[in-house]
Amino acid sequence: MPDPANDPSGILNHVLERFQSLDVTGEIMIQDAHYKGTPNSDIHRGRWRRRDDKLVAVRQLRSYGFSDLTELHKSIALELRLWARLSHPNVLPLLGYCLNFGPYPALISEWMENGTVLEYLEKNKLADRFQMIQGVASGLHYLHEHDVVHSDLKCANVVVSPQGVPLLMDFGLSRLLVISSVIKTTKEMGGTLRWMARECFTGSDDDTLEERPTIATKETDIWALGVTAMEIITGELPYASAKSSGQIVADVISGKLPYKRAQGMDERLWRICAQCWSPIPSARPSMFEVVRALQGMQKTEEKCSQLIRGGMKSSIENVIQKFSTSSRWEVYCGSSVRRQ
């Protein structure tokens, strides 16, 4: 257990005891140290000795984002408690935690050789991008149903399973860093700025809310979902023309959208993304509404495909013509689209 001197509140030790069944200390061997990194953590590649040397990701939260280890321990306790109770096909499962890789616990998950969703799409040109968007939306909907705010949704925090399924990861850590007394400047938060909602910088335009910056809410997640969907479609960064943190912030505050509509993009998909970027948080769709809209698009095109297979192409010729040049069909074929 962590040194009680660094955990005076006892919160972390209490959580570790509660989830003692997840303790795999001594069972994980680091194979490649510092294999990858995120703005808030170091990720090592390791092997789980008692699971046939299964490849795992060993994630250690960086301590420099916190004023002391007590604060860090509280943050890890919250992350562990949140992650341990989540179970969904589009959420990366927590396998356990280790206490022998430093002064605080490391969190263990399965190693995803496919990498992030953008890395996967780069190597698999024919992958179904729309299904990737649906999977990300489904995972986020699940989190919101359980009152969990992801707070750092972007393609870099979506990995792909061996079966080609997108999995959300790193939920909660960004929020924990933002509320830290140390992490305050746009320079330190630069890696996440492009996905942050307008109210994170200006306060809310909703008359029912206070005019002060928002840290993380379900509504800021929904903004990021629209950004992530376009990132999957185009393969480009949001606010791609902005070259500095200051310019990104200025663009967001001015009301500039993260993306322009991609050439030939299905109007319904673009409308969903644009609604996610409403300057008024309460005007954005809920994740239930987003998932339902995406399912409606799926059913429409499945019906078209069935009609074609049934020899009724002529009766829906106009419908197919509408989609034949749209990115929605290109998405199914795995092609990204150009922006206008």
CATH at 60:
3.30.200.20
Q: Is residue 338 part of a domain?
A: no
Q: Is residue 340 part of a domain?
A: no
Q: Is residue 339 part of a domain?
A: no
Q: Indicate whether 77 and 176 sit together in one domain.
A: no
Q: Print the domain residue range for 56.
A: 4-110
Q: Indicate whether 45 and 132 sit together in one domain.
A: no
Task: Tell me the whole-structure pTM to 2 decimals.
Answer: 0.81
Strand partners, 98: 106
Q: Indicate whether 170 and 316 sit together in one domain.
A: yes
Q: Which of 90, 110, 130 is the last residue of a domain?
A: 110
Q: Indicate whether 75 and 140 sit together in one domain.
A: no
Q: Is residue 102 part of a domain?
A: yes
Q: Which of 74, 93, 110 is the last residue of a domain?
A: 110
Q: Which of 110, 138, 167 is the last residue of a domain?
A: 110
Per-residue pLDDT tens digits of the chain, which is 340 residues long = 555 555 556 888 888 999 999 999 999 999 988 777 766 678 999 999 988 999 999 998 776 656 666 777 777 888 888 899 999 999 999 999 999 887 788 999 999 999 999 999 999 999 999 999 999 999 999 999 998 899 889 999 999 999 999 999 987 554 444 433 333 444 444 458 899 999 988 865 554 444 455 678 999 999 999 999 999 999 999 999 999 989 999 999 999 999 999 888 889 999 999 999 999 999 999 999 999 999 999 887 776 656 555 544 444 444 444 444 444 434 443 445 545 4
3-state secondary structure of 323: helix
Q: Indicate whether 138 and 246 sit together in one domain.
A: yes
Q: Is residue 150 part of a domain?
A: yes
Q: Indicate whether 124 and 40 sit together in one domain.
A: no
How many domains is the chain partitioned into structurally?
2
Q: Decide the pairing of beta strands 28-38 and 54-61.
A: unpaired
Between helices 267-276 and 218-234, what is the axis angle to 10°? 140
CA angle 78, 81, 83 (to 5 degrees): 105
Q: What is the dihedral sign for C-alpha 120, 123, 124, 129?
A: positive
Q: Indicate whether 72 and 171 sit together in one domain.
A: no
